[in-house]
């Protein structure tokens, strides 16, 4: 048994120079991690983030509400028109509301910054887009409630 332990110590000693060499090399390499949130990170193309809504395109058909598998959409009247409200605390970001909308009134932006302790901040309402009718998926970032 003592012989086995001795072998193992010798093995470890042999690995030490290689380990020190690797450590030295790593110290001068660029870091793999990004300094988020100090440095903004761009989500990849096709990312399903916070919803962007185009009120002027919506025809109040209710398909988004009907198709949502998470029961995260509710049509509520705003400015005389029934429009979807999105409850992101229930949303599973499946994309079905965007795919099913016959008027392309919903798009999912690349905005992934939705962490909050307030449930009410996870409600996306048409009102926030009525004042910014030309919102794009990129601008969805600015439309955080």
From the list 102, 97, 78, 77, the residue with the least C-alpha distance to 86 is 97
Nearest residue (CB) to ligand SF4, 64 versus 141: 64
CA 108 to chain centre: 10
**97 touching ligand SF4, by CB under 6 A:** yes
Among 1-9, 20-28, 95-103, 133-141, which window interacts with ligand SF4 (CB under 6 A)? 95-103
**93 touching ligand SF4, by CB under 6 A:** yes
Between CA 98 and CA 53 the distance in angstroms is 10
Cβ–Cβ under 8 Å, residues 72 and 91: yes
Residue from 43, 81, 89, 96 touching ligand SF4 (CB under 6 A): that is 96
Nearest residue (CB) to ligand SF4, 84 versus 140: 84
Residue from 78, 94, 114, 123 touching ligand SF4 (CB under 6 A): that is 94
Q: Enumerate the β-bridge partners of residue 74.
A: 85
Q: Which of residues 49-78 bind ligand SF4 (CB under 6 A)?
A: 58-64, 68-70, 72-73
CA trace torsion 102, 75, 52, 58 (10° rounding): 40
């Amino acid at each position: 048994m003592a012989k086995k332990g001795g072998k193992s110590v010798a093995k470890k000693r042999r690995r030490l120079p290689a380990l020190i060499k690797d450590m030295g090399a790593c110290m001068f390499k660029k870091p793999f991690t990004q300094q988020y949130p100090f440095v903004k990170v761009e989500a990849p193309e096709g990312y399903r983030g916070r919803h962007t809504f185009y009120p002027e395109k919506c025809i109040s058909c209710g398909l988004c509400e009907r198709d949502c598998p998470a029961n995260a959409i509710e049509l509520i009247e705003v400015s005389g028109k029934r429009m979807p409200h999105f409850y992101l605390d229930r949303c599973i970001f499946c994309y079905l509301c965007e795919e099913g909308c016959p008027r392309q009134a919903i798009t999912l932006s690349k905005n992934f910054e939705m962490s909050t302790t307030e449930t009410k901040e996870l409600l996306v309402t048409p009102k926030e887009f009525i004042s910014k009718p030309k919102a794009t998926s990129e601008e969805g970032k600015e439309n955080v409630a």
